[in-house]
Amino acid sequence: MSVWDGATILITGGTGSFGKRLIQELLAEGKVAKIIVFSRDELKQMEMRETFQVDFYSPLRFFLGDVRDQDRLYRAFRGVDIVIHAAALKQVPACEYNPFEAILTNIMGAKNIIDAAIDCGVPRVMSVSTDKAVNPVNLYGATKLCAEKLMIHGNFYTGPAPTRISCVRYGNVLGSRGSVIPRFRQQKETGVLRITDERMTRFWITLSQAVRFVMHCVEIMRGEEVFIPKIPTASLMDLAKAIAPECKLEVTGIRPGEKLHEILISADEARNTVEMDNMYIVRPPRPKEMWKEGKPLPDGFEYCSNTNPWQLSQEEILKVLDTV
């Protein structure tokens, strides 16, 4: 029996790109009993009602709320089987210039999720994280690192509750809201594409791949681990040339809080990480025997976008872009 069969699912930030695609997948499979979309944007909720043609018999339910509001989370989490936490302030420049707001949503919001899940007896919580949480140089990454640590160590507070909490961590999502791809496509009309640095590389994953990965990790999670998919890397230069080979490229310089290259697993973290067929798993701080079936990583291993052996060519980038 699948964990989704007859389950009640709650998605924080459910009106975002990830949430909408996840809902599509869950509805297509037809296994879940109820999907609760928890978000603070009533306009986007109304648009989703129209998109999914929600009526009295639909499994979709909409809760207006903010992860900063613990009381509202307690009300929403009653009777929920699986929480997928995707709500966050995600834009690096916005977090740099609104630091207290980023802390309230990304860190205190994570604490509120943990407390509500444990006290309401939610069996599974999966938090969506980012490569920017590894060796962070910006406030967004720092808040997501703190949120990861809270989620993993929040398992220590569960006591007799059935709650288990894990994280997934991946790179840039192709085609998501705020992705560089829509911006490049808009700039293509002007004949000039603006990139920050010719050397910059990023990990890439499609929205469908991210959703399927999260769903798979929810099924296999044991609690306290961080799941990281094996995904390709592409340089920003190759991405720009693939989208608009005829355009002139203008280098604008790295923005505040940006890295040249991103890291999904640091060298220090790798010592407690195992390799599986299609993913890496950062094992829990306790107990050490969990995920013993995985292959330990070699000394000095680091999963970095500029040294990742899976580098996409311009032709491969075009094939991927055709799917988003």
DSSP bridge pairs for 11: 37, 84
Angle, alpha carbons 276-153-151 (nearest 5°): 75
With 80 as the cut, is the pLDDT of residue 115 above it? yes
With 80 as the cut, is the pLDDT of residue 289 above it? no
What is the pLDDT, as a whole number, of residue 288?
A: 63
Element (H, E) at 227: strand 226-229
With 90 as the cut, is the pLDDT of residue 117 above it? yes
Task: Return the percentage of the chain with pLDDT > 70, whole number.
Answer: 99
All domains of the chain in start order, with CATH: 8-171+205-230+264-301 (3.40.50.720)
pLDDT in tens, 124-164: 999 999 999 999 999 999 999 999 999 999 999 999 999 99
User: Is the distance from CB of 244 to CB of 193 less than 8 angstroms?
Assistant: yes
What is the pLDDT, as a whole number, of residue 197?
A: 93
DSSP bridge pairs for 130: 170
| Chain center to CA of 119 | 24
Could you tell me which of 27, 113, 47, 43 has the C-alpha nearest to residue 77? Answer: 113
pLDDT in tens, 73-105: 999 999 999 999 999 999 998 999 999 999 999
CA distance 146 to 44: 28
Q: What does the pLDDT average to over 312-323?
A: 89
CA distance 278 to 288: 22
Residue 132 falls in the annotated catalytic set: yes
- Written as six digits, the tokens of 126 are 């999966």
The two beta strands, 164-170 and 226-229, are parallel
Residue 11 dihedral angles phi and psi, to the nearest 5°: -120, 115
First to last CA, the chain: 32
With 70 as the cut, is the pLDDT of residue 61 above it? yes
Assign 270 a pLDDT band (cuts: 50, 70, 90): very high
pLDDT in tens, 228-243: 999 999 999 999 999 9
Assign 287 a pLDDT band (cuts: 50, 70, 90): low
Could you tell me which of 166, 151, 266, 179 has the C-alpha nearest to residue 216? Answer: 166
What is the pLDDT, as a whole number, of residue 205?
A: 96
- Written as six digits, the tokens of 103 are 């802390």
CA distance 64 to 125: 20
Assign 176 a pLDDT band (cuts: 50, 70, 90): confident
Dihedral sign from CA coordinates of 283, 285, 290, 296? positive
Task: Return the percentage of the chain with pLDDT > 90, whole number.
Answer: 86
Amino acid at 72: R
Out of 90, 132, 144, 259, the active site residue is: 132
Q: What does the pLDDT average to over 104-117?
A: 98
Which DSSP category does 264 fall into? E
Q: Output the average pLDDT for the chain.
A: 94
Burial class (CB in 10 A: 0-12, 13-18, 19+), 287: exposed
pTM of the model: 0.96
